[in-house]
Structure 1
Amino acid sequence: MAEVLFYHLERHPLERVLPELLARSLGRGWRVVVQAGSEERLSALDAHLWSYSDSAFLPHGTRADGRAEEQPIWLTTGEDNPNGATVRFLVDGAATAELDGYERVVFLFDGLDPEVLAATRERWKAAKAAGHAVTYWRQDERGGWQKAG
């Protein structure tokens, strides 16, 4: 069973939070797949991960780059896992029917959008009903993460 984490973005946008979480994942030796909700978001994340910091580098690729098996971070809009990732991030409303096969599945969701909140609640219920270990994380006043459930 996967550990399923829900990160409620309230204080900082995805563009600030995702690179930090990806860097932590790579630091732990994990391979990662990031599933975006649209091709436009995928392209924006791809460009952002190349330039988000002058002092950091997040090696990643997309279908356009090829050689998925060589990429520690793979960006996609599909449910594929061509780099053999053990961690899956779902962003911008992306969803997957398959949580098994991953050690960790991370949903990053916009806390200000009522439709996204409703969809995320359903994903929470489904993951819990399937027997996954589910946790909920909120941003504190400084933007750090506090486990809330």
Structure 2
Amino acid sequence: MAEVLFYHLTESRMEDALPDLLEKSVARGWRVVVQAVTPERRDALDQHLWTYKDDSFLPHGSDADGGGALQPILLTIEPEQRANDPHVRFMVEGAVPVDLTPYQRGVYLFDGDDPDQLSTARERWKAEKSAGHAVTYWQQTEGGRWAKKA
């Protein structure tokens, strides 16, 4: 079973929080897939990850570009995409995977000000817990750090 983390964004945007979490995953030697809801969002994330910080580099690519198997971080909209044999699956802004069983870790990153994303996160919490995954809930503090709440 996977460890499933729910990250509740209350102090920053997803674009600001995601790169740090991806850096930590890559530093651990994990291959990652990031699932967005729309092709436009996937493509915007692709561009953002090239420019989010001047002194950092996140090796990544989009499944729209091909060569997904070579990517340490693969961006997709496909709920079953596993071309890069990932250890971790990130779901952003309400994206829902088919099954997290093949992963070491699943991460839901959702905006606390978006009622649809909150609703999806609550539904996924119940679904992942009943599937037998170890689930934890993290919320941002005022300083933008993560505090474990459940």
What TM-score, normalized by structure 1, do the two folds share?
0.97
**Kept after mapping to 1: 8 A contact 2:43/2:62:** no
Residues 39-81 of structure 1 show CA distances to partners (whole Å, capped at 9, x for unaligned) of 1100110000001111000010112332212110000000211
Equivalent residue for 1:45? 45
Amino acid at match of 1:60: H
% of aligned pairs identical? 57
CA distance in 2, matches of 1:58, 1:115: 29
Spell out the pairing of 1:1-149 with structure 2 (5 A cutoff): 1-79=1-79, 80-149=81-150
CA distance in 2, matches of 1:75, 1:116: 19
**Kept after mapping to 1: 8 A contact 2:10/2:140:** yes
Residues 65-114 of structure 1 show CA distances to partners (whole Å, capped at 9, x for unaligned) of 32212110000000211000010000021101211100000000010112
Paired residues in the alignment total 149
CA distance in 2, matches of 1:3, 1:136: 11
SS of structure 1 residue aligned to 2:110: strand
**Kept after mapping to 2: 8 A contact 1:91/1:107:** yes
Moved more, 59-68 or 138-147: 59-68
**Kept after mapping to 1: 8 A contact 2:30/2:86:** yes
Root-mean-square deviation (Å): 0.8
Unaligned runs of 5+ in 2: none
